[in-house]
Amino acid sequence: MNTLTATRLHAADVNITMVSNTQAVTDYARRYFGSWWNAFEVLPATVCAGPVVFADVDEDQYATLQALVETCPHEETTYAKAATLVARDAEGTITAVSPTQQLAYRHEPATGRLSVIGAEREPVALAAARIARDAMRGLLLRDGWTLLHASAVTDNCRTVLTFGEKGAGKTTTALALANMGWQLLANDRIFVRPDDKGQLQVLPWPSAAAIGLGLLNALGWQDVARKRLEAGEALHPTQHPEVTDAVLAGRREPVWEPGGKRERKVQIYPDQFADWFGLKLATSGLAQAVLFPQMRRDATPAVEGCRRTLSDADFMHGATEDRYPDILSLAPAGGSGSIDARQSVAHHLDKLPHHTVVLGHDLAANAAFLHQLLSE
């Protein structure tokens, strides 16, 4: 019989505990969240109250839940890039299954029980981390936080938020500054909330970072990653094997999905930013400036005259969430938080210095330009 283990996640004033029959599942949660949130082991016997995610490797229980969903009315959606069937019963319990991944999710609002069940250890670990993060998102939104589509870096005195559509350069901007000494707070999403002093608090959304081979090389990280892989270490398991092969072969050119419309990228664990590449990570900050970059291959880094403002696409909610839809109804108001909270965040951000910039593909030049711009 497996022995139960538990890991508690804590961010701001909220926490959630993950309990599993498999040590590797809770170990993964501590590794994944520990760099940006407070994640620590607790005794299962002490978990008597509060939000809990039960995450078990149990093939028979998964098969039972799969049969339940497939034989009753259900909807089909995509969650974490996998086809997922979602069913709701008369008591409000939501059960979802991803047959290709042999994963089941279950939320019982009447009791507050939240479960992730799967046939294999690694998929359960990844899925439990996603659901625990979704549950934390719901708690933070209820506590007045708002989730934004942005990257963030800080040098203790200044925390800079970078906005833009996919491909605009959010991750590139954050990593360029982090590579020259700024602390990386988040690479794609952030939580923000005004405090009682009128300042905008910033918290990270822990996630693996997707980095193209060209950017990996420009950062000077390609050889580091290759040597680590050759030594037997691994990048995030969602990384496509073709990308791993390309890193091992020392390739710098992009790896594309069939059809050539989407690049397959290197997937880096949060802790690997520090352990592999020597970056400093921050766990919080106070927003001081806003960047709106636009990448152009042959451009010289420069300030552009127009002043961009936030749009609906800069807030993560049901209409803009394309990777992690709230399949278990864990977040309020469709995952967007309250309208008042969003309006307050927009008001506070509008008062900060805004910099609309164009950046080229010379990463060192971009970093030097941004560092000077933000120091003025």
Task: List pLDDT tens digits, range 3-29.
Answer: 899 999 999 999 999 999 999 999 999
Q: Which residues pair with 193 in a beta bridge?
A: 201
Q: What is the pLDDT of residues 153-190, one digit of tens each?
A: 999 778 999 998 887 889 999 999 999 899 999 988 99
Residue pLDDT, tens place only, 116-132: 999 999 999 999 999 99
CA distance 52 to 363: 43
Per-residue pLDDT, averaged over 348-352, amounts to: 93
Distance CA 347, CA 287 (A): 13
Q: What is the pLDDT of residue 335?
A: 62
pLDDT at 227 > cutoff 90: yes
Extents of the domains making up the chain:
5-142, 146-208+269-375
Interstrand relation of 200-204 and 285-295 (parallel, antiparallel or unpaired): antiparallel
Q: Could you report the per-residue pLDDT of 202-217, keeping only the tens digit for each?
A: 999 999 999 999 999 9
pLDDT for residue 254 is more than 90: yes
CATH topology of domain 146-208+269-375: Rossmann fold (3.40.50)
Work out the average pLDDT over 225-251. Answer: 96
The predicted structure's pLDDT at residue 81 = 86
pLDDT tens, residue by residue, 36-86: 999 999 999 888 777 899 999 999 999 999 999 999 999 999 998 899 999
What are the φ/ψ torsions at residue 374 (nearest 5 degrees)? -80, -10
156's tokens: 């203790």
Closest CA to 268 of 184, 209, 204: 209
